[in-house]
Amino acid sequence: MVKNLKKYFPARGKWLKAVDNVSFSIGFGETLGLVGESGSGKSTLGRSILRLIEPDDGEVIFEDVDLRKLGGEELRQRRRFMQIVFQDPLASLNPMMTAGQNIEDPLIIHNIGTNEERRKTVMELLDIVGLGREIIDSFPHELSGGQQQRVGVARALALNPKFIVADEPVSSLDVSIQAQVVSLLYELKRKFGLSYLFISHDLAVVKYLSDRVAVMYLGTIVELAPKKELYEKPLHPYTRALLASIPKMPKDGKPQKRFSALKGEIPSPVDLPPGCRFQSRCEHVTEICKEEEPTFREVFPEHFVACHLA
């Protein structure tokens, strides 16, 4: 596995430690799932990797090149290889351009191909994402949510990227459509060997698509492990709480009337107390948790946690 991305990243997004000292790597063809709730910084992280938000510190190394050191023009050229799919598919498409034009735009921007060649590519992309070719002249607001998101994916694929940041790509879609889009992403991953950073608050969806999963809380990664490890042997109390609080399909006709809930609320990322960020909600909090911030270390092979009690 070649290191595709390495990032070391203490960043302060405007007096809010939105992303605070985050490091991880993603290999070729690998999908890293990034789970977190609001305030975790996961969206900020995704955008910072692509420099859509400028990080304050740290490195983002993409194929041996530190993205942060690139100038405007070089960065623009590099963008071909890393793309993003957004949460709100309608908002991510230019409402004044047709679906076809939206998909074609990356090719125009980078001056690729002639008019016919581009049109042909757009048709192929529509096929790849499972859309009928006739929607090529439809405007985004005429399409359904699922179709819009597929257009977004097609556009992201137009430049043959190697890496895609998927920022909650299915959260705003209907359940039955979510499944379709997730399947699509899975297919594309296999067919084209793409690497994904798959950001979501939905642990189940993340599990389906990812190879490894990272859990974020208030700006740092609190646990990172290969998928099976994380879901079977979660170490961090927050991870455990997340897993427990999802309503599961009742087995054997036994619904659960009460749901395991974490106490308290996510504190504001401004003015964090010293020590572990999770202390205010942790059941097992001890003295050392309140004083010292736990280091992110490897506890089992490939399984990293930031917790004193692990």
The answer to whether residue 109 forms part of the interface with another protein (CB under 8 A) is yes
The answer to whether residue 111 forms part of the interface with another protein (CB under 8 A) is no
What is the separation, in whole angstroms, between the first and last Cα of the chain?
A: 28
Are 85 and 167 a contacting pair, CB within 8 Å?
A: yes
The answer to whether residue 255 forms part of the interface with another protein (CB under 8 A) is yes
Closer to another protein at the Cβ: 176 or 287? 176
Q: Which two tokens stand for residue 273?
A: 């107390």
Residues 6+ apart with CB under 8 A from 237: 278, 282, 283, 284, 307, 309
Residue 96 CB, shortest distance to another protein, in Å, is: 4
The answer to whether residue 131 forms part of the interface with another protein (CB under 8 A) is yes
Give CA–CA dist 89/162, Å, rounded: 21
Which of 26-34, 57-65, 252-260, 292-300 is the region at the interface with another protein (rule: CB under 8 A)?
Answer: 252-260
Residues 76-95 that bind another protein (CB under 8 A): 76-80, 83-84, 86, 88, 91-95
> Residue 35's closest CA among 309, 240, 185?
240
The answer to whether residue 96 forms part of the interface with another protein (CB under 8 A) is yes
Closer to another protein at the Cβ: 2 or 257? 257
152 to 191: interface string for another protein, x by CB under 8 A: x--x---x--------------xxxxxxx-xx--------
| Phi, psi angle pair for 31, to nearest 5° | -115, 120
The one-character DSSP state at 268 is P
Closer to another protein at the Cβ: 10 or 110? 110
3-state secondary structure 165-211: EEECCCCCCCHHHHHHHHHHHHHHHHHHCCEEEEEECCHHHHHHHCC
Q: Which two tokens stand for residue 263?
A: 């106490």
The answer to whether residue 288 forms part of the interface with another protein (CB under 8 A) is no
Residue 163 CB, shortest distance to another protein, in Å, is: 12
1, 116, 191, 256: which one binds another protein (CB under 8 A): 256
> Residue 284's closest CA among 259, 309, 304?
309
247, 283, 287, 301: which one binds another protein (CB under 8 A): 247
41, 106, 169, 294: which one binds another protein (CB under 8 A): 106
Residue 132 CB, shortest distance to another protein, in Å, is: 4
Residue 172 CB, shortest distance to another protein, in Å, is: 10
Give CA–CA dist 234/114, Å, rounded: 52
10, 29, 113, 130: which one binds another protein (CB under 8 A): 130
